[in-house]
Chains A and B, each alone.
Chain A
């Protein structure tokens, strides 16, 4: 059994945190996100064209719903970050993103007011060829709109080097 994963750390498995955006996503946020990606797909900015498709109107680029910092009104921390994080009892010297698995249930639209529920699914230790023993934290986020409709699920693995 692992020595690096304390009972205290393990007790975080199953914890949840829910946040709701103070306002709807907005068309400008959709256009800004597309612009940042060099994405000129008219589905994200041309209402007339988007209406003629089976989407029936402007939709957000798929992964925008998974970027939820805009829900928060916190002042930036010392590194500039304002979003959700788990204050895990980890003294990690390095943190890396591992993987993302997205499921998109329906497109997100400008008038959606998004709620996200984060849950820690698993915390485990694994020996990696490159970096030795690492701690993997698997979280799942579920995103819904103001009608409670499921928009997307994002299962994310982050890696901490102890």
Chain B
């Protein structure tokens, strides 16, 4: 098992990039997320059903996009991190068979009510260039260096 990296608030610089997160959306990953969230809607696994609705393939639940954005933030922030806020708008649909990349940058940092916060701007893009999320915003609380 690898130890999580733990950037301290003091070491984070505005403009730094978060490690990109690549995720292959497969029938398996859609079914795993559907199962883990007790979401048994046919949208996420029934190819015949979604074809009749005019969709090319089963598709990702919108909140799975949020879950992946949060995963990227938590991985970057390390063992003491906690996501405080996350806002995003979906500009498209992610289907089984798509590959997506999540990217992020630190847009600001501040201490508020004793909390060391990094503000991040995030995006989610399919490998064909389609933007699914643009300029999502997040606030991540980080650990601080011991005095």
Contacts and interface: CB of A to CB of B under 8 A. Distances in A.
The main secondary structure of chain B at its interface with chain A is mixed
B36 A100 contact: no
Contacts of A132: none
Contacts of A35: 32, 36
Contact of A43 (B42, B43, B74, B90): B74
B131 to A, nearest CB: 14
Interface string A24-62: 000001001101111111110010011011110001011
B38 A53 contact: no
Interface residues of A, number: 45
Contacts of A86: none
A98 B90 contact: yes
Interface in A90-116: 96-104, 107
Contact of A99 (B42, B80, B88): B88
Question: Range of interface residues on chain B?
Answer: 35 or more
Interface string B30-41: 001101111111
B38 A83 contact: yes
Interface in B63-89: 63-64, 66-68, 70-71, 73-75, 79-80, 82-89
B114 to A, nearest CB: 13
Contacts of B68: 37
Nearest to A159: B90
A67 B63 contact: yes
Given A43-B74, A62-B74, A102-B66, A54 B80 contact: yes
A42 B79 CA distance: 8
Interface of B: 1-4, 23, 29, 32-33, 35-43, 46, 49, 61-64, 66-68, 70-71, 73-75, 79-80, 82-90, 143
Interface of A: 29, 32-33, 35-43, 46, 49-50, 52-55, 59, 61-64, 66-67, 69-70, 72, 76, 79-83, 96-104, 107
Given A98-B89, A99-B87, 5 more contacts: A43-B4, A55-B82, A67-B39, A72-B38, A104-B85
23 contacts: A29-B36, A32-B36, A41-B4, A41-B71, A42-B3, A46-B1, A52-B79, A55-B82, A62-B74, A62-B83, A63-B70, A66-B66, A67-B39, A79-B42, A79-B43, A82-B40, A83-B39, A99-B87, A100-B62, A100-B88, A102-B87, A104-B83, A104-B84
